[in-house]
């Protein structure tokens, strides 16, 4: 799942993460003459000769092997919600993963996510509208209110929130320099910030994995 992708709006919630765990020339060897072949040319209607254009090449993003979880949607306000997507080619379990908006965190419960599947987690707003096909859990991620003008969400594989090896996905909006921003930058999974307004309802990843502000659209 690369290039342009559309994910449903989901919301992750995290509670109390503030200080936990922060404790590839070769040289010819003979004298045989060599011949140089002139590049293929084409003639235009006006009688001029031009070189044929180089053959186009396309690049594709390498597949992601195993399970890999990334944040793909954050909804604000009363519809506060975080969506996590498994962009890998195998199923995986989110048990032991955490959502964090410093200083709050949320331990994600045991939930199996198939390859390409996604989990919607409410952050405690009065409205919870998970996208069709989403896996949901009963618990609320108490990571604080997800405000449209400013905030962050980090996804970790442990409660070591200051560890650049344990943070696996991150997004911040409204401004830069949030509590976990430097950790994500150090990990090489984030740069910039998503520009939102007070009227923004959601931010949605358009690239997988999203690793910079340009990889997110504002809705």
Sign for the pseudo-dihedral over CA of 79, 13, 94, 154: positive
Contact 194, 216 (CB under 8 A): yes
Q: What is the mean pLDDT of each run of 10 residues along the chain (219 residues)?
A: 38 36 38 41 36 40 81 96 98 98 97 98 94 96 96 98 98 97 98 98 97 98
Output the pLDDT for position 63. Answer: 67
CA distance 182 to 94: 24
**What is the strand order of the sheet 202-205 is part of?**
135-136, 118-122, 81-86, 69-75, 202-205, 216-218
CA distance 68 to 91: 9
CA distance 8 to 190: 21
* pTM of this structure: 0.72
Output the pLDDT for position 62. Answer: 59
């Amino acid at each position: 799942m690369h290039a342009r992708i559309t994910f449903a709006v989901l919301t992750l919630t995290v509670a109390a993460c503030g200080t936990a765990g922060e404790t590839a020339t070769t040289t010819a060897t003979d004298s045989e003459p060599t011949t140089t072949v002139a590049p293929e040319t084409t003639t235009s209607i006006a009688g001029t000769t031009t070189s044929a254009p180089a053959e186009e090449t396309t690049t594709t993003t390498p597949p992601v092997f195993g399970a890999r979880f990334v944040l793909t949607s954050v909804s604000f306000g009363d519809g506060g919600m975080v969506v996590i997507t498994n962009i890998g080619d195998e199923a995986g379990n989110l048990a032991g993963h955490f959502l964090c908006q410093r200083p709050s965190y949320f331990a994600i419960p045991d939930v199996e996510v198939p390859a390409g599947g996604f989990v919607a987690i409410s952050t405690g707003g009065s409205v919870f509208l998970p996208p069709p096909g989403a896996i949901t859990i009963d618990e609320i991620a108490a990571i604080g209110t997800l405000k449209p003008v400013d905030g962050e969400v980090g996804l970790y594989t442990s409660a070591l929130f200051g560890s650049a090896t344990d943070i696996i996905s991150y997004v911040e909006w409204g401004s830069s320099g949030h509590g976990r921003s430097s950790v994500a930058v150090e990990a090489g999974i984030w740069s910039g910030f998503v520009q939102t307004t007070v009227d923004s309802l959601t931010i949605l990843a358009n690239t997988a994995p999203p690793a910079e502000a340009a990889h997110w659209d504002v809705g």
